[in-house]
Amino acid sequence: MSPPELEAYLHAHIPLSKAMQVSVLMADDAAVVLGAPLAPNINHRETVFGGSASAVAILAAWSLLHTRLQRAGIASRLVIQRNSMDYGLPITGDFTARSFIPEEVRTWPAFLRMLTRKGRGRIAVEAVLEQEGREVGRLEGEFVALGASAA
């Protein structure tokens, strides 16, 4: 799925992403990078609302799994089970969220194996929020894929 295709998918199927003006800057097997402007995500302190920061990070992590499962030809329902969000610094402008799978070499094959054998797989994904090249936040999330079938 190319960045424009992923962006269109997010805007059509997750309307909040369109309202937040989320854009897909990069999407490959290693990472998905989403961008979001300050204006539609601003709070009363003229910084990014924490819920918006968290939502963009979750979208980036979810998108990485969604695109990788699609490339693997596996259709499933993908949901977040739990997450923790650290807000390191106030976000005062446009920002990005870059998602990745920690310990991917070990965890991705185990996730796929469980998903295809048991119809349910669980995997951890992280997303780093950045503004102007500095880390401003970090998400650690656990996602569950259900009902694997050939796409």
pLDDT tens readout for residues 85-106: 999 999 999 999 999 999 988 9
| pLDDT cut 70: percent of the chain above it | 97
| Residue-range domain boundaries for the chain | 3-150
Check residue 47 and report its DSSP letter: S
Q: Is the separation of the CB atoms in 123 and 48 below 8 Å?
A: no
| Mean pLDDT (whole number) for 119-143 | 97
- Residue 148 binned pLDDT confidence (cut-offs 50, 70, 90): low
| Mean pLDDT (whole number) for 5-33 | 97
Alpha helices in the chain (DSSP H): 3-13, 15-19, 50-71, 104-118
CB atoms near residue 17 (< 10 Å): 22
pLDDT for 118 = 92
Q: Is 15 exposed, middle or buried (0-12, 13-18, 19+ CB in 10 A)?
A: exposed
Mean of all residue pLDDT scores within the chain: 95
Q: Which two tokens stand for residue 60?
A: 């980036």
pLDDT for 68 = 95
- Residue 60 binned pLDDT confidence (cut-offs 50, 70, 90): very high
Answer yes or no: is pLDDT of 150 > 60.
no
pLDDT for 100 = 97
pLDDT for 76 = 92
CA 35 – CA 97 distance, rounded (Å)? 7
| Mean pLDDT (whole number) for 67-95 | 95
Q: Is the separation of the CB atoms in 101 and 64 below 8 Å?
A: yes
pLDDT for 84 = 97
User: Of the CATH numbers 1.10.3720.10, 3.40.50.2020, 1.10.230.10, 3.10.129.10, which one belongs to the domain with range 3-150?
Assistant: 3.10.129.10
CA 31 – CA 105 distance, rounded (Å)? 14
pLDDT for 1 = 85
